[in-house]
Amino acid sequence: MKELDQILVADNSLKASTACFSGHRPNRLPEYGSLKFGMMLEMLRAKIHEVSDAHKINRYITGMPKGFDVLAAEMVLSIRDSGIRCCGIELECAVPFRGHKNKLRGCADKITCLSESYHSGVYHVRNRYMIDNSSVLICYWDGTETGGTAWTVNYAGEQCLVVYNTYDAVQKWHMQTE
């Protein structure tokens, strides 16, 4: 497992070439193994390629919560390890606090620890870090007005990030196939 980098603040020198992810937990995603789930993954893969090309993104940050964020990070790793089209693509895991467990930490190119220990606002700090260090947000957000994904999408808008919501495209595809 890689050692945690120092706890640090935003590195704006990489902001223009960085995107991050935010989305719902597993209970609010399409059912695992369903056609809709497969389409969500396919649209995510296509969006990562599109963002890499259109915005010259080669660095992706995940906050590592279970659900869309981990799926997106796994997709970045799959693209990176395939070597097709995306030379130099990197994954950064923004660890909310020292001791936070996640299976992706050993695969990431960089691990950034944002707090020495857990505290009530630690996930908010992580979400702010991801947005403050990115120029693009790729999300899976159903429009609910509360929760971490809603806050992150709204903050990304306030910070003038380009926001791509894959939820809408998945829903449109699903409506056309019913």
pLDDT (average), residues 113-135? 95
3-state SS assignment for residue 92 = strand
* Residue bearing tokens 């997106």: 72
Q: pLDDT at position 100, please? A: 83
Q: Give the pLDDT confidence score for residue 99 in this predicted structure.
A: 83
Task: Check residue 59 and give its pLDDT.
Answer: 96
**Does position 42 have pLDDT exceeding 70, yes or no?**
yes
Region 21-35: mean pLDDT is 95
For residue 19, give the H/E element and its range: strand 18-23
Domain 12-177, CATH: 3.40.50.450
Global confidence as pTM: 0.90
Domain boundaries, the chain: 12-177
